[in-house]
């Protein structure tokens, strides 16, 4: 490709230089004719003048004009010698043994035959004087191109060898494996030993792996890959075991409470109304807690199995935030709720799940913010991202616990979590919802100051809603903002 480019450039340059030379020749001939057009007798004398000879011209008289090429009129009109009767040709000397092609080329002449004052005239221009500088230009150019081309060949060979090196190594490895398998153990004993070792692994021995040292050289990579796979399976298995153990532990407590109050009713509650009412209230409370826990466990189980269907639609998330604030004010008058809803912020997401995640964050803020504290919700739209901030001035989270608050069943303070009724699954559910909407979260917290959680989601284009839908959304926002204090 590089060679073809160089050849094309050289040919184009030769054509350009040759065309410039012929153009200059015709321009000079046009000046000579213009000077002697009305005095033909002087035109013959001008042939012997030093000025004409020095310019490389020779003027001859002919009997008739029947030789040469007559160009079309539209091309002829663009040339300096603008005469429709002009005939042109280039003459080379005949080939001789003692003359090279360069010598013949230097003796080339450009002939222009035309009629001047009704007299056939032939103007001959010697091209050799103009061609000599072109030789040196082309020689320097071709020499530079040859040097560059040789350098590129060396560089390209290095690139090709570097590119083909992995293939060469694969070929050598394949040859080595074939040789080892055919000579050392033609029956495939190495693979049989590897298969036997794999068959001995069970769920309790996933962390043992395969022995690498006893494997053949060509089977070590396979053994490494199998050990990595076993490690991943072991991690998933241990995670499942911990999940089942934690779920059993969480269910054991409410079941023990239910059993205790059932025994209390059986012994003394049949005839004691106060004891009966206490037992009934406790049973109802623990039943509700266990119901919530089972629902959370089922949600996470369906999430792990990827069986939760996401019904994604485009909506303004401000309406969801305003609805949560409006509902929470009704059920929790002990806290102050503030919100800042700026420009429209559209998401393409499952409205129910996004509301569930925000509800979890707000409920956590309520649990760990003393009565009279403020909980702030803010929606921002920046470039192609929608941010939702939930901030409180509660007790905060210890630095060592911040990175683990989204883990399943994790509670930084067991007694405090039990007091507030938390199971350690709410934030894990919120994390699943955030991850499955291509979002991410950021937690900033200080003990005694408060916690701020920021959710970021990809923004969506606003839908073409009807006027009725727009008016309903505005009404929801206005209703939720009633009684809202400006955030500090």
**Residue 169: inside a domain, yes or no?**
no
Reduced 3-state DSSP string for the chain: CHHHHHHHHHHHHHHHHHHHHHHHHHHHHHHHHHHHCCCHHHHHHHCCCHHHHHCCEEEEECCCCCCCECCCHHHHCCCCCCCCCCEEEEECCCCCCCCCHHHHHHCCEEEEEEEECCEEEEEEEECHHHHHHHHHHHHHHHHHHHHHHHHHHHHHHHHHHHHHHHHHHHHHHHHHHHHHHHHHCCCCHHHHHHHHHHHCCCHHHCCCCCCCCCCCHHHHHHHHHHHHHHHHHHHHHHHHHHHHHHHHHHHHHHHHHHHHHHHHHHHHHCCCHHHHHHHHHHHHHHHHHHHHHHHHHHHHHHHHCCCCCCCCEEEEHHHHHHHHHHHHHHHCCCCEEEEEECCCCEEEECHHHHHHHHHHHHHHHHHCCCCCCEEEEEEEEECCEEEEEEEECCCCCCHHHHCCCCCCCCCCCHHHHHHHCCCCCHHHHHHHHHHCCCCEEEEEEECCCEEEEEEEEECCCCCCCCHHHHHHHHHHHHHHHCCCCCCC
**Residue 182: inside a domain, yes or no?**
no
User: Within this chain, do residues 292 and 337 fall inside the same structural domain, yes or no?
Assistant: no
**Residue 203: inside a domain, yes or no?**
no
Per-residue confidence (pLDDT) for residue 343, from 0 to 100 = 80
Per-residue confidence (pLDDT) for residue 366, from 0 to 100 = 92
User: Within this chain, do residues 298 and 319 fall inside the same structural domain, yes or no?
Assistant: no
**Residue 152: inside a domain, yes or no?**
no
User: Within this chain, do residues 246 and 325 fall inside the same structural domain, yes or no?
Assistant: no
**Residue 337: inside a domain, yes or no?**
yes
Per-residue confidence (pLDDT) for residue 317, from 0 to 100 = 92
Per-residue confidence (pLDDT) for residue 48, from 0 to 100 = 45
Listed residues 263, 280, 304: the one ending a domain:
304
Listed residues 304, 335, 360: the one ending a domain:
304
**Residue 258: inside a domain, yes or no?**
yes
User: Within this chain, do residues 51 and 103 fall inside the same structural domain, yes or no?
Assistant: yes
pLDDT tens profile 130-161: 777 777 788 888 888 788 877 777 777 777 77
User: Within this chain, do residues 466 and 341 fall inside the same structural domain, yes or no?
Assistant: yes
User: Within this chain, do residues 382 and 249 fall inside the same structural domain, yes or no?
Assistant: no
Per-residue confidence (pLDDT) for residue 487, from 0 to 100 = 42
Q: Are residues 9 and 23 in contact, defined by beta-carbon separation less than 8 angstroms?
A: no
User: Within this chain, do residues 260 and 323 fall inside the same structural domain, yes or no?
Assistant: no
Per-residue confidence (pLDDT) for residue 374, from 0 to 100 = 92
Per-residue confidence (pLDDT) for residue 187, from 0 to 100 = 45
**Residue 150: inside a domain, yes or no?**
no
How far apart CA 435 and CA 300 sit, in angstroms, is 13
The CATH number covering residue 243 comes to: 1.10.287.130
Listed residues 106, 133, 160: the one ending a domain:
133
How far apart CA 129 and CA 28 sit, in angstroms, is 15
The CATH number covering residue 391 comes to: 3.30.565.10
Q: What does pTM read for this prediction?
A: 0.47
User: Within this chain, do residues 79 and 26 fall inside the same structural domain, yes or no?
Assistant: yes
**Residue 146: inside a domain, yes or no?**
no
Domain span including residue 342: 313-481
How far apart CA 295 and CA 293 sit, in angstroms, is 5
Mean pLDDT by 10-residue block, N- to C-terminus, for the chain (488 residues)?
82 85 84 68 53 71 76 82 83 77 79 80 81 78 81 75 75 70 52 62 59 58 75 72 67 76 76 80 80 77 77 91 91 90 88 90 90 92 90 89 80 52 75 90 90 92 60 53 48
Pick the closest to residue 312 from 438, 127, 149 (CA basis).
438
User: Within this chain, do residues 230 and 293 fall inside the same structural domain, yes or no?
Assistant: yes
User: Within this chain, do residues 295 and 321 fall inside the same structural domain, yes or no?
Assistant: no
User: Within this chain, do residues 435 and 457 fall inside the same structural domain, yes or no?
Assistant: yes
User: Within this chain, do residues 319 and 300 fall inside the same structural domain, yes or no?
Assistant: no
How many domains does the chain contain in total? 3
């Amino acid at each position: 490709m590089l060679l073809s480019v160089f050849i094309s450039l050289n040919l184009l340059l030769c054509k350009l230089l040759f065309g410039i030379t012929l153009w200059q020749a015709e321009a000079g001939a046009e000046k000579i004719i213009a000077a002697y057009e009305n005095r033909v007798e002087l035109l013959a004398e001008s042939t012997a003048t030093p000025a004409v000879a020095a310019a490389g011209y020779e003027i001859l008289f002919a009997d008739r004009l029947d030789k040469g090429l007559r160009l079309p009129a539209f091309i002829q009109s663009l040339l300096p010698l603008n005469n429709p009767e002009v005939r042109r040709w280039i003459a080379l000397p005949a080939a001789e043994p003692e003359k090279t092609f360069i010598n013949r080329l230097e003796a080339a002449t450009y002939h222009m035959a035309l009629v001047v004052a009704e007299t056939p005239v032939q103007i001959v221009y010697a091209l050799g004087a103009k061609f000599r500088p072109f030789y040196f230009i082309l020689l320097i150019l071709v020499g530079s191109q040859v040097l560059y081309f040789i350098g590129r060949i060396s560089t390209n060979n290095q690139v090709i060898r570097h590119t083909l090196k992995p293939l060469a190594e694969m070929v050598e490895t394949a040859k080595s494996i074939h040789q080892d398998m055919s000579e050392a153990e033609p029956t495939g004993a190495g693979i049989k030993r590897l298969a036997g070792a794999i068959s001995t692994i069970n769920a309790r021995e996933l962390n043992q792996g395969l022995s690498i040292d006893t494997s053949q050289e060509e089977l070590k990579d396979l053994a490494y890959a199998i050990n990595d796979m076993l490690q991943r399976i072991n991690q998933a298995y241990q995670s499942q075991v911990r999940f089942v153990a934690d779920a059993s532990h969480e269910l054991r407590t409410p079941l023990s409470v239910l059993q205790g109050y059932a025994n209390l009713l059986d012994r003394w509650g049949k005839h004691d109304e106060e004891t009966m009412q206490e037992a009934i209230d406790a049973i109802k409370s623990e039943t509700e807690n266990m119901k919530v826990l089972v629902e959370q466990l089922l949600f996470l189980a369906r999430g792990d199995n990827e069986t939760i269907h996401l019904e994604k639609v485009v909506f303004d998330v401000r309406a969801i935030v305003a609805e949560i604030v409006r509902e929470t004010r009704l059920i929790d008058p002990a806290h102050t709720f503030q919100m800042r809803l700026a420009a429209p912020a559209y998401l393409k997401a499952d409205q129910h799940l996004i509301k569930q995640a925000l509800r979890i964050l707000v409920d956590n803020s309520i649990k760990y913010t003393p009565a009279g504290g403020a909980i702030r919700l803010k929606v921002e739209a920046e470039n192609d991202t929608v941010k939702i901030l939930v901030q409180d001035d509660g007790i905060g989270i210890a630095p060592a616990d911040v990175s683990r608050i989204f883990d399943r069943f994790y509670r930084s303070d067991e007694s405090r979590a039990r007091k507030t009724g938390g199971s350690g699954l709410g934030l894990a559910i919120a994390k699943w919802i955030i991850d499955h909407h291509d979002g991410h979260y950021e937690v900033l917290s200080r003990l005694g100051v408060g916690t701020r959680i920021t959710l970021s989601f990809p923004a969506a284009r606003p839908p073409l809603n009807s006027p009725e839908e727009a008016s309903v959304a505005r009404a929801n926002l206005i209703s939720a903002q009633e009684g809202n204090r400006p955030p500090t």
